[in-house]
Amino acid sequence: MALETVSVIGAGAWGTALAQAAAMAGRRVRLHGRSGDLASEVNQFHTNERHLPGQTLHPAITGFADCERVAEADFIILAVPAQASREAIIQAGADAFAGRPVILSAKGLEHETLLRQSEVLGQLAPQAQPYVLSGPSFAADVAAGRPTAVTLAGRDAEPLAAALAGPSFRPYAADDIVGVELAGSLKNVYALGCGAVEGADLGASARAAFLARAYAEMARLVEALGGSPATLTGLAGLGDLTLSCTSTQSRNYRTGLALGRGLPLEGIGLAEGVATAPVARDLARRLHIDAPLIEAVNLLLTGTTSISSIVAGLMARPLKRET
Ligand SMILES: NC(=O)C1=CN([C@@H]2O[C@H](COP(=O)(O)OP(=O)(O)OC[C@H]3O[C@@H](n4cnc5c(N)ncnc54)[C@H](OP(=O)(O)O)[C@@H]3O)[C@@H](O)[C@H]2O)C=CC1
Ligand SMILES: O=C(CO)COP(=O)(O)O
């Protein structure tokens, strides 16, 4: 199957960065945003100042203002926020995805339906060939050509990984779509928690403890939901959890930081963990999986309980063996 041209749906930070990576890998890229102004900016000035300020885009990227002609490509990358994917797929039309590899790159679970991104795609466009791209990768780093390694999961993912690989972007092929999707979504919830630990000045020891117990909790959930805990040892698991739980470049971490400090959340931008946290909590409860950190982050987000009470509750849980 030819993999020369790619349509990227969503011209935010991540869609534009992935467009850049694909162009650097030698692909011809169609970048589909919602606004005509953005398409003109990409085509005239090779920039996307709103979402990737200061970055010059590769000349092989062409901007488009709508989703109507996404099918004019060998494969598709979906890069709108998780809660907008359904709308974006419907707008493009199921036929656009039929028989094509579709790379899902949003890191979130759908509110109300509790679905993973590949399940949403499967519902709306069952003929699409789903792949999931995840791992430790800030848009600004990828777009600027800083070395980045990610996981690309799906059936026979190697050719697609090769189509996106460049000198600074290294996708590793994998099989476990469920584990990779869950890891990418859940790390955002834990990044909110780690940010709050930092914001409330609970100390580096507390943050490391949160990270380690988050990893254990994530492994329980991934296994119960049909993914492989082994996936979590890789880029999409440990890699992204570490990045997002320790870097102020992460919007989820910064959102948690602001919550921990009792500051307003304006200006931080999209934090997928806020919408995914209640979904993760509902999935865990439904499966009777012990997920105290996800419960704690949800409590934090409701704003009804102080951080010190949340922490006291966690520390007072019955003692248990570590594994
Ligand atoms: N930024 C990053 O470093 C990374 C982000 N991701 C993931 O990528 C996903 C997107 O994040 P990111 O690009 O950063 O977010 P941004 O806020 O930068 O951009 C979101 C983009 O989606 C568009 N959009 C929003 N709603 C819709 C809709 N209903 N239909 C079509 N387009 C829509 C927005 O359009 P408009 O501009 O018109 O509002 C915007 O272009 C998230 O799930 C995130 O977790 C993954 C790895 C890294
Ligand atoms: O997923 C990311 C890095 O891998 C981006 O994290 P944020 O969405 O928290 O900024």
Number of domains in the chain: 2
Give the residue numbers spanning the domain of 135: 5-175
Specify whether 107 is located in the same domain as 132: yes
Over residues 37-48, the mean pLDDT reads 96
Specify whether 102 is located in the same domain as 217: no
Specify whether 221 is located in the same domain as 111: no
Asked if residues 76 and 102 have their Cβ atoms less than 8 Å apart, the reply is yes
Specify whether 152 is located in the same domain as 200: no
Specify whether 36 is located in the same domain as 158: yes
* CATH number (domain holding residue 81): 3.40.50.720
CA of 8 to the centre of ligand 2 (A): 18
For the cut 90, the answer to whether the pLDDT of residue 194 exceeds it is yes
Percent of the chain, pLDDT > 70? 100
Helix axes 177-199, 117-124, angle to 10 degrees: 140
**pLDDT digit string (tens) for 73-83?**
999 999 999 99
Specify whether 64 is located in the same domain as 111: yes
Count of H helices and E strands in the chain?
14, 8
pTM of the model: 0.97
pLDDT at 272: 97
Q: How many other CB atoms are there within 10 angstroms of residue 202's CB atom?
A: 17
For the cut 90, the answer to whether the pLDDT of residue 35 exceeds it is no
Over residues 38-67, the mean pLDDT reads 96
Answer whether residue 33 is part of any domain.
yes
Chain-wide mean pLDDT for the chain? 97
Confidence category of residue 12, pLDDT binned at 50, 70, 90 = very high
Ligand found nearest the CA of 38: 1
**Partners of 9 in the beta sheet?**
32, 78
Cβ < 6 A, ligand 1 pocket: 10-15, 33-35, 51, 79-82, 84, 87-88, 105-108, 137-139, 269-270, 272
**pLDDT digit string (tens) for 148-169?**
999 999 999 999 999 999 999 9
Answer whether residue 149 is part of any domain.
yes
**pLDDT digit string (tens) for 100-157?**
999 999 999 999 999 999 999 999 999 999 999 999 999 999 999 999 999 999 999 9
* CATH number (domain holding residue 245): 1.10.1040.10
Annotated active-site residue 187? The verdict is yes
* Active-site residue identified among 187, 207, 254, 281: 187
Domain boundary among 146, 175, 204: 175
Ligand found nearest the CA of 188: 2
pLDDT at 264: 81
pLDDT at 68: 77
Specify whether 167 is located in the same domain as 259: no
Specify whether 48 is located in the same domain as 170: yes
Specify whether 166 is located in the same domain as 188: no
